[in-house]
């Protein structure tokens, strides 16, 4: 990896990324308007940061909350200092990410077996290459964190309000 850093192909940026500063951080790092691959997993605010990004990747791997049914349009309320507490209280439903991806011209093409990551591909490249329709109901995978021998997230100890998307 040091070769990639030394020749400028990989830049490591130490920053707390929020919905408010994501584009500034990307600008300062020299990230172009379009690029090949994005992996975004910041636990609590993933969907909020992705929605505010003014960049488009041809392929994106985005963390989703598989504890929520695939047809629900919900996410945690945005909190720039929000962090994951180990519970089911984090991120956004797959349907919410499907909608964000669509605004970026991306099609939801699959999810990993463990119900952690959703994969999006540029819509013009997805047709005829991936299973359709490109929606949450077709591609949803439930949480299977035990597959890797990791503990499940614990259930919420008290009710919390989700943000409902429209």
Predicted confidence (pLDDT) per residue in 55-111, tens digit: 999 999 999 999 999 999 999 999 999 999 888 889 999 999 999 999 999 999 999
Residue for token digits 């990551």? 117
How many residues appear in the chain? 166
**How far is it, in rounded angstroms, from Cα 63 to Cα 121?**
15
Residue 145 has a pLDDT of: 81
Establish if 91 belongs to a structural domain. yes
Report the domain count for the chain: 1
Question: What is d(CA 86, CA 24) in angstroms, rounded to the nearest whole number?
Answer: 29
24 part of a folded domain: no
Does residue 136 belong to any structural domain of this protein? Answer: yes
Among 9-23, 70-84, 138-152, the range scoring the smallest mean pLDDT is 138-152
The verdict on residue 111 lying in a domain is yes
Tell me the percentage of the chain whose pLDDT exceeds 90: 75
* 16 found inside a domain: no
Question: 5: which residues sit within 8 A by CB, 6+ positions away?
Answer: 11, 12
Q: From residue 46, how far is each of 112, 113, 126, 130 by CA, in Å?
A: 17, 20, 23, 24
- pLDDT bucket at 138, cuts 50 / 70 / 90: very high
Q: Answer yes or no: is 12 within a domain.
A: no
pTM metric for this prediction: 0.90
What is the predicted pLDDT for the residue at 10?
83
Q: Supply the range of the domain harboring residue 44.
A: 34-164
Q: How confident is the model at residue 151 (pLDDT cuts 50, 70, 90)?
A: low
Residue 8 maps to a domain: no
Q: Which pLDDT does position 166 carry in this prediction?
A: 66
Strand partners of residue 92: 75
- Residue 107 in any domain: the answer is yes
Contact 61, 39 (CB under 8 A): yes
């Amino acid at each position: 990896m040091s070769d990639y850093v030394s020749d400028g192909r990989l830049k490591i940026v130490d920053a707390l990324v929020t919905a408010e500063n994501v584009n500034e951080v990307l600008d300062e790092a020299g990230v172009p308007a379009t690029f090949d691959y994005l992996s975004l997993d910041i636990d609590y605010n993933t969907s909020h940061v992705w929605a505010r990004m003014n960049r488009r990747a041809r392929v994106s791997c985005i963390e989703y909350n598989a504890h929520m049914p695939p047809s629900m349009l919900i996410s945690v309320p945005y909190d720039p200092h929000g962090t994951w507490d180990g519970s089911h209280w984090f991120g956004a439903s797959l349907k919410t990410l499907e909608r964000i991806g669509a605004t970026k011209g991306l099609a939801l093409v699959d999810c990993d077996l463990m119900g952690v990551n959703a994969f999006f591909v540029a819509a013009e490249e997805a047709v005829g290459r991936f299973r359709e329709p490109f929606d949450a109901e077709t591609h949803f995978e439930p949480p299977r964190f035990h597959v890797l021998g990791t503990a499940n997230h614990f259930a919420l100890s008290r009710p919390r309000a989700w943000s409902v998307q429209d």
